[in-house]
Amino acid sequence: MKAQLLDIFRRRHACHLFESGRVIPAEDLSFILEAGRLSPSSFGLEQWKFVVLGSPRHKLALQAACFQQPQVGTASCDIVILAKLADLHPDSDYVRRLLAREYPGPQLEGALRNYRGFHANTDVAAWSITQCHIAAANMMTAAAGVGIDSCAIGGFLPEEVRRIVNAPAENYAVALVLALGYCAEPAGEKLRLPLAELVEYK
């Protein structure tokens, strides 16, 4: 299992041009989305929403909002990962409902007090976006595991992306655009710094 996982990580790369017109099977797309859904999240609040864009019209509009990066328009589909904002307010029904799953019965009120203090002292948008990145990483790994290439895109015009997916600014921040498909070009050598340069033991 360890060798299989490491092989997936070694094979996964940022694809900058996909085979236009080649469609991801529905069951594989569902598998990738499920990997995102099952991802861990702070307080168990599942800060993400996934909007799948598969029509040529939507993909071209999104490509324009992503500084014309070609992988967006040639992808089989693009997943816009939205970070929840309004739902994360301590007084929202959403927070109460999800915290109640983790902290049932009399534990809930204490958990809500704890979360209220955290929320008041946190950059909520930045925090929510980082949670979405966890889901995105799991989705890219899952995609690589079933032979689907990906590219995580952080360069975009947030207002334009929100307009395309009809996501009000008060409700969502755009966390990431994830392009999925089959790479049109072979992957180059994967280059990473050695562990000795990255890890320090105390």
Q: What secondary structure does DSSP assign to 79-139, as a single string?
A: EEEEEE-GGGSTTSHHHHHHHHHHS-TTHHHHHHHHHHHHHHTS-HHHHHHHHHHHHHHHH
Fold of the domain built from segment(s) 11-184: NADH Oxidase (3.40.109)
Q: Are 69 and 17 in contact (CB under 8 A)?
A: no
Prediction pTM value? 0.96
Question: Where along the chain do its domains lie?
Answer: 11-184
DSSP SS3 for 196: helix
pLDDT at 187: 86
pLDDT of res. 188: 85
Q: Assess contact for 22 and 186: CB atoms under 8 A.
A: no
CA distance 163 to 165: 6
pLDDT at 189: 87
Q: Identify the bridge partners of residue 174 per DSSP, sorted by sequence position.
A: 82
Residue type (1 letter), 118: F
Looking at residue 66, its pLDDT comes to 98
Please list the pLDDT of the chain residue by residue as tens digits (202 residues): 999 999 999 999 999 999 998 999 999 999 999 999 999 999 999 999 999 999 999 999 999 999 999 999 999 999 999 999 999 999 999 999 999 999 999 999 999 999 999 999 999 999 999 999 999 999 999 999 999 999 999 999 999 999 999 999 999 999 999 999 999 998 888 899 999 999 999 9
Q: What is the pLDDT of residue 31?
A: 98
Q: Nearest to residue 192, comparing CAs of 4, 8, 13, 1? A: 13
Residue 119 pLDDT: 98
**Cα distances (Å, whole numbers) of residue 76 to 2, 8, 49, 56, 79:** 30, 20, 19, 9, 10
- Among 53, 47, 36, smallest CA distance to 166 is for 53
